[in-house]
């Protein structure tokens, strides 16, 4: 009888929590990432930072910029590693055409929000985004504070 490894609860590798505060997120897209062997090993260990990650469209292809994948000492001793290299995203032509049109004509930005496992593949979730102004951020904070205050008032009124 073979023993099975316990399956991990969450398939999420890394999140970009700052994105919702800095941008208005609209359409969501999913793409595969072209990775090297040492990068996959580092991702399995959770050594990924997506906080400054964004997607650039160049010559009809999508690339992920600003992602840091720190190499493992044991797994990458024979390979020259570049933790901040640009990684190609794997998208369909129809999706690429839509993204090119929206970013060039309408002024959208493509912001990476999450990296996760889907079966044995590493996937990237990114959104079409418009930047927020300072007063937009203040109104979001004000709304969150008001929602928290309402919850407190409802909790105390039920007693």
**Is 21 exposed, middle or buried (CB count within 10 Å of its CB: 0-12, 13-18, 19+)?**
exposed
pLDDT band at 91 (very low <50, low <70, confident <90, very high): very high
pLDDT at 9 over 80: no
Predicted confidence at residue 8, as pLDDT, reads 54
Strand partners, 61: 58
The pLDDT tens digits of the residues spanning 43-60 come to 888 889 999 999 999 998
Instruction: Calculate ∠ Cα 29-40-13, nearest 5°.
Output: 50
Q: Are 91 and 76 in contact (CB under 8 A)?
A: no
Tell which wins on pLDDT, 76 or 38: 38
Percentage of the chain exceeding pLDDT 90: 38
Q: What domains are there in the chain, each with its CATH number?
A: 12-133 (2.40.280.10)
């Amino acid at each position: 009888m073979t023993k099975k490894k316990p399956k991990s609860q969450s398939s999420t590798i890394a999140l970009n929590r700052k994105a919702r505060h800095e941008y208005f997120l609209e359409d969501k897209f999913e793409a595969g990432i072209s990775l090297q062997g040492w990068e996959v090993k580092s991702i399995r260990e959770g050594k990924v930072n997506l906080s400054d990650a964004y997607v650039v469209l160049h010559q009809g292809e999508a690339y992920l910029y600003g992602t840091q994948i720190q190499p493992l000492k044991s797994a990458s001793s024979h390979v020259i590693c570049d933790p901040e290299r640009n990684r190609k995203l794997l998208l369909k032509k129809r999706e690429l055409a839509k993204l090119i049109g929206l970013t060039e004509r309408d002024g959208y930005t493509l912001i990476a929000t999450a990296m996760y496992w889907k079966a044995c593949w590493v996937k990237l979730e990114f959104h079409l985004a418009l930047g927020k102004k300072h007063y937009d951020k203040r109104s979001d904070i004000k709304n969150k504070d008001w929602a928290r205050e309402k919850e407190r008032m409802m909790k105390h009124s039920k007693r």
